[in-house]
Structure 1
């Protein structure tokens, strides 16, 4: 009987499908893509849902808030479960169980049922944490930032691809004779079934580590995952660096989600664009995840090689501060072309900041990567919730004031005043949020690593690069 001893991949060779690390990279990226696709899958159909179920404006906003809120708790929990049971089983069950509310969303008949489904659909947003944990376990220190950023960026594409994909699915089912008003229901059912299938694929075609699954390794006497979970988790919570990264991810991914969700209306109100034109600009913003987040991880790894772990932190602080400056600058832009340029620079920097964040995360606590990833990942959704609540409150108040001030002057005048008020309120909100991001960028400099940690990582990276030239050992 032969046992193959493999090691973490030191290169992101995307075509080497025989490598368990690369195979896992592809499967986890596709699974993440489908989770985000299903999570935001209802967004293109919201006008149909509002009409079909008779949702009030408050119920519509509450459904968005519930979807984000559910993800916060799921991300906190799933990281700890990954440390205990391994990412393979966690992802399998998340995909299979997460498919249930996605399918049920296509079957709802009342607003309450819809809100409940939106809450539980939000749980599949925890897929991000498992993706980062599994990638961290598969790739060596010299490339882990790039691998993490690429898998996350390509997975995030699902949140933008649904703008094209879900309407295409709806058009296909209509072609088979389904009533147009019911197309959104069938589309959600199909998305749920695909998530279920990906869960089955994940179980049979991945493993927890390059050496094998947690269960088999433990039976063989290997120490994997965490022991004494409660004590270890408390030590994780007591590490101030994790909470700084929590704020960093709230200021990067959280703000990206908020800006992505409010930019359509802002572009229309501020620059008088048609809805289709504004939507295409926002879609382009989302599609930059193809490369922008990878760049953040790549530069994090590069600065890590040049300046050690401190180098990773320095780059993270720089790119996050730049993100805040770009958002502040965009918020005061009154020219469309300048605004689009600044929006592109903001998009590039915010997604690079996300990638740079998870080029630091794997080095915070090697024994609890899942818990650390879960807490930091939850920060993104907390940031999105707070930023969205701020913008909604400012915009709603400004619009109501404009309506009252122009009462009796005609529908056209009222709409123009309402649009201008909303634009100004959101602009002020973006400005304030941008300043907060700059502040968090400065705070990120407080993340420190001991001299011992720096030396251990330096030695490990050197060994991993050297092992790249060594053949895989085969023992009898």
Structure 2
């Protein structure tokens, strides 16, 4: 169970630093006199930064395991997070969020990790809980950074600009420490760490990064899941990045109120993903793999319907 808890906590911290800057965007925009295009471009960069990293991390997990890679990604992403206060221009904000986006790659390790640790009868629930509790970091950071730490730092420093320039040091420190702890206390798989298995000759010697990527890329199921995941997680990333600004501009809320409402979306991960994984396992038990496919199809259709409802909502 150490791997399970390390997986979800590492993912939680990754989301915590990935979106730590999101509740601060209204203040950053005002202090640096940035346009809405600058803010949107930075949000796109934050997502773009994780896309290429995830493509690389998947094959690397097959060779080196999730533990070491989780530690490396968290420690690396902590550096630009701590440098948030150095931003002076829109271009600087875009570059910063591109670098912080590396943290989103932790999702690959968390799902790979639990898939290695649990059997097919419960792996859906395990993956869902790790993914859900990890994604919860986006909701927590909206509350903790936007509504607790930022006002605290503002009160201490007497300046909102100084507050947002210094507050991200806190999540950066948490991420760096988490990376070290995950590396030291956990295991790659039930049989131990990949490095030890290789020394004992118990690891498939023919596994390489190139071969792993090539095999996955030629499987049609990979691309079907790619499209489905782009649809569902794309919505989540958009909400995490832009909802606070949207609620402020569309409904005239204060930045604090907009952050709090936006946090509700992230907090749904506390139970929503777990329920999805449980439903998937239940359908798998009764109908086989087709059961997993059907429940995923139904949930994607329901998501599409709720998006149409949201886009036509005129009041809170």
By the TM > 0.5 criterion, same fold? Answer: yes
Q: Do the aligned residues in 1 keep the contact of 2:4 with 2:130 (CA within 8 Å)?
A: yes
Cα distance between partner residues in 1 of 2:8 and 2:67: 13
Report the counterpart of residue 288 of structure 1 in structure 2.
268
Is the contact made by 2:20 and 2:145 (CA closer than 8 Å) also made in structure 1? yes
**2:186 maps to 1:191:** no
- How far does residue 228 in structure 1 lie from its aligned partner after superposition? 4.2
* Contact kept in structure 1, 2:49 and 2:102, CA below 8 Å: yes
User: Residue 57 of structure 2 contacts residue 105 of structure 2 at CA under 8 Å; is this kept in 1?
Assistant: yes
Q: Structure 1: give runs of 5+ residues left out of the alignment.
A: 1-21, 341-476
Give the equivalent residue in structure 2 for 1:128: 107
Superposition pairs of residues 93-104 of structure 1, within 5 angstroms: 93-104=72-83
In the other structure, the counterpart of 2:238 is 258
Residues 40 and 184 of structure 1: is their aligned pair in 2 closer, same or farther, counting only changes over 3 Å? Answer: same
Q: 2:93 maps to which residue?
A: 114
1:171 pairs with one of 151, 159, 163 = 151
Q: TM-score, length-normalised on structure 1?
A: 0.61
Q: RCO greater where, 1 or 2, for CA within 8 Å and sep 6 or more?
A: 2
Q: Is the 8 A contact 1:48 1:181 kept in 2?
A: yes
Structure 1 pair 239/333, CA: closer, same or farther in 2 (3 Å)?
A: same
Q: 1:159 aligns with which of 138, 150, 162?
A: 138
The 1:283/1:36 distance shift into structure 2, 3 A limit, reads same
Please report how far the alpha carbon of residue 177 of structure 1 lies from its aligned counterpart in structure 2 after TM superposition: 4.5
Q: Is the 8 A contact 1:214 1:225 kept in 2?
A: no
User: Does the CA contact (< 8 Å) of 1:45 and 1:184 recur in 2?
Assistant: yes
TM-superposed CA distance for 1:256, in Å, is 2.5
1:149 aligned to 2:128?
A: yes
1:205-251 Cα deviation digits (max 9, x unpaired): 11101210001011111125861442342221111111000011111
From 28, 40, 46, give the equivalent of 1:61: 40
Deviations 1:399-447 (A, max 9, x none): xxxxxxxxxxxxxxxxxxxxxxxxxxxxxxxxxxxxxxxxxxxxxxxxx
Would you identify which runs of 4 or more consecutive aligned residues in structure 1 move more than 6 Å? none
Deviation at 1:78, TM superposition (A): 0.9
Map residues 276-355 of structure 1 onto 2, 5 A cutoff. 279-332=259-312, 336=315
Q: 1:60 to 1:266 in 2, by over 3 A?
A: closer
Q: Which of 217, 220, 230 does residue 237 from structure 1 map onto?
A: 217
Q: Does 1:203 align with 2:183?
A: yes
- TM-score, with structure 2 as normaliser: 0.90
SS at match of 1:157: helix
Give the Cα separation in 2 of the matches to 1:147 and 1:211.
Answer: 19
Structure 2 CA distance for partners of 1:333 and 1:47, relative to 1, 3 Å: closer
- Name the counterpart of 1:223: 203
Contact 1:83 1:226 in 2 (8 A): no
Shift of 1:28: 2.0
Tell me the secondary structure at the aligned position of residue 86 of structure 2: coil
Counterpart CA distance in 2 for 1:319 and 1:181 is 42
Q: How far 1:119 sits from its partner (Å)? A: 0.8
Q: Report the structure number with the largest CA radius of gyration.
A: 1
Q: Whole-Å Cα distance in 2 between the matches of residues 274 and 149 of structure 1?
A: 33
Deviation at 1:36, TM superposition (A): 0.9
CA distance in 1, matches of 2:149, 2:270: 22
